[in-house]
Structure 1
Amino acid sequence: MSRPSTSGASAALPPFANGERFVYHISWFSILAGTAVLEADRSTTSDGQPGFRFVAAARSGPLVTRFYPVDNRVESQVDAATLLPRRMTFRRREGRRKNDFEYAFHHAAGTVTAVKDGRTDVLAIPNDVQDAISCLYYMRSMLPMTPGATLVMNVHHDKKNYKLEVRVEALEQVEGSWGAVETARVIAIMPFQGIFLNQGNIRVWFTADERRIPVMMKANVIIGSVVAKLVEGFSLSTASVP
């Protein structure tokens, strides 16, 4: 099997800052349904190479927890040079569903060692495969934020391989507690359920500058839709993360 290509992937000047931490309020039918957090840090991979650690967590608020508690956490370790994932863990707690996943990616061999709820399988993966959270940061790094731009990624999730297509739909202004900012509205054609319990496609609004900060996300769920809007970690006065 051929080695994974790294064409175009470079983290020499990534759009995400070391130590960035974004906090989002998640609303559902105008109800504060929960909070989500995205974090990025420089780290070292298991073989001692420069890397990044990405964390995504989502937790339901008190009202929603009464009938459908959610407490999800995903952590991904990626190679800094290629932005390919090396290891990913996913602690999923959604209602009565409880799963623990751990993946070790062996890109040169074209395999992943996948552990789900204690059962281990070695599975084939395509070249340049991403995981369920590293794909967001790869998209943020590699997708041109111009209307009509597209990107297709291979993603491994829940022991299956998927094609994930993303497309910039338009440029538009978004307002928040940090003011008004021009964004690129990106649609992700989702073939699997992500951390926001989506039942289909997800839209992400990235700032249309070099930081490409995701200021808002929207996803359809079983009933209605949820919107995650950035409330901490971004300031227009500094255009950076504290």
Structure 2
Amino acid sequence: MRKQYKGVFTGMLFSLLLSGSALAQGEAPSAFGPGEQARYRVQYLGMTAGTAQVTVGAPMKQWGKDVWPLVAVAKTESVAGVWPIKDKFVSYWHSGTQRVLGSDMMEDENRRRRRVRVKLSDDGRSAQVVKQKDGEPPRESTHELLEGTLDVAGATFALRNRALEVGREYSYPVFTGSKSFLMKAKVEAKESLGTSLGKQEVYRLRVYTEFSGNLKSKRDMSVWMTADARHVPVRIEADLALGALVAELTDYEQGKVVAPTPAVATQSGI
């Protein structure tokens, strides 16, 4: 099980908890702000396998621009048959333009470390990727991107800023650091859901991705977001090639309420 498990936990968390143009409408305060913190319990194959914490950090400078760091930290529990994992992913969110400027991934899995940095060009049409394992020289590559491309964390936070409507589908071009695809999320219903924080009114979304390998889904993923202005993900279910994974919100602290930004034009059909 150790070989099967490696990468599933971290990849799933950083690809799902977190989701240019086709962004927020600028008609209401941001659904999130600096100081927001969400904690999740993650179950894999029916047992608690680890935890994740997603934080909107304090404003900072990155590559000369003001950003909010979207920080996800994942770690496994001391469970038999599970790799020791403590990974950190940071996506640099530029609130003024509602896009990401790049990201840093720091992996520590079974005492093997790797770092991946993605930096988008100023026009957002290309990305420079640097990957490095401990004891090895860095490997660099350049990738062409569609206009408005986000990472999955940025796409998830951008979706939170949308005015969700039952029956509507939202699409975002996404770059993972090695692969590009169109992530689509359709709001299927509004319903009540029992959670660790009590009963919540939520939207149920069906999310389509194109992950491969251990993260390949047998069916579209299901995501539940609160139906209030925050649109906080409270539950995620995925049926992966290696088995079922569920992430549930266990604790939440709201961040700073941030004034709306100027309206951003959306792509046709999005």
TM-score (norm: length of structure 2): 0.75
Matches within 5 A, 1:80-91: 80-91=95-106
Structure possessing the higher relative contact order (Cα contacts under 8 Å, 6 or more residues apart): 2
For residues 196-233 of structure 1, the C-alpha deviation after alignment (integer angstroms, 9 at most, x for no partner) is x6332432211001011111111223433111111111
**Cα gap change, 1:179/1:98 in structure 2, threshold over 3 Å: closer, same or farther?**
same
1:120 to 127, 132, 140: 140
Equivalent residue number for residue 154 of structure 2: 134
- Residue 209 of structure 1: aligned partner: 228
C-alpha distance in structure 1 between counterparts of 2:52 and 2:105, whole Å: 15
SS across alignment from 2:215: coil
CA separation in 1, counterparts of 2:50 and 2:23?
A: 38
More strand as a share of residues: 1
AA aligned to 1:35 is T
Going from structure 1 to structure 2, the CA distance change for 1:198 and 1:172 (only over 3 Å counts) comes to farther
Partner of 1:162: 181
Query: TM-score, normalising length from structure 1?
Result: 0.83
Question: Any idea what SS the aligned residue of 2:222 has?
Answer: strand
Q: 1:98 to 1:57 in 2, by over 3 A?
A: same
SS in 2 for 1:129: coil
1:123-163 deviations in Å (ceiling 9; x for gaps): 21110110131111111112x32221111111111322211
- The 1:99–1:203 alpha-carbon spacing in structure 2 relative to 1, beyond 3 Å, is farther
Letter in 2 for 1:134: G
Deviates more, 1:43-52 or 1:172-181: 43-52
- Change over 3 Å in CA distance of 1:180–1:7 after alignment to 2: closer
| Identical counterparts, % of pairs | 22
For the pair 1:41 / 2:60, whether they are aligned, the reply is no
Structure 2 match to 1:108: 123
CA offsets 1:82-130 (integer angstroms, 9 cap, x no match): 2211120112355698642101111416211111221111221110110
Structure 2: gaps (5+ residues)? 1-19, 133-137, 257-270
The reply on whether 1:228 has 2:247 as its aligned counterpart is: yes
Which residue matches 2:89? Answer: 74
**Counterpart for residue 7 of structure 2:** none
Structure 1 residues 125, 217: closer, same or farther in 2, change over 3 A? same
What number of residue pairs does the alignment pair up?
A: 230
Task: Give secondary structure in 1 for the equivalent of 2:161.
Answer: helix
1:61 corresponds, among 65, 77, 80, to 77
Question: 1:203 & 1:71 partners in 2: Cα distance?
Answer: 25
Give, in whole Å, the separation in 1 of the partners of 2:201 and 2:124. 42
Task: For residue 146 of structure 1, give the secondary structure of its aligned residue in structure 2.
Answer: coil
> Over the residues paired in the alignment, what is the CA RMSD in angstroms?
2.7
Q: Amino acid of the residue matched to residue 154 of structure 2?
A: S
Distance 2:221 2:204 in 1: 10
| Offset at residue 12 of structure 1 (A) | 6.8
Structure 2 residue aligned with 1:237: none
Asked if 2 retains the 8 angstrom alpha-carbon contact of 1:45 and 1:78, the reply is no
Query: Distance in 2 between the 1:208 and 1:37 partners?
Result: 21
Distance 1:63 1:136, change over 3 A: same
- Which amino acid is 1:165 matched to? K
Distance verdict in 2 for CA 1:130–1:207, change over 3 Å: same
Matched to 1:91, the amino acid is: M
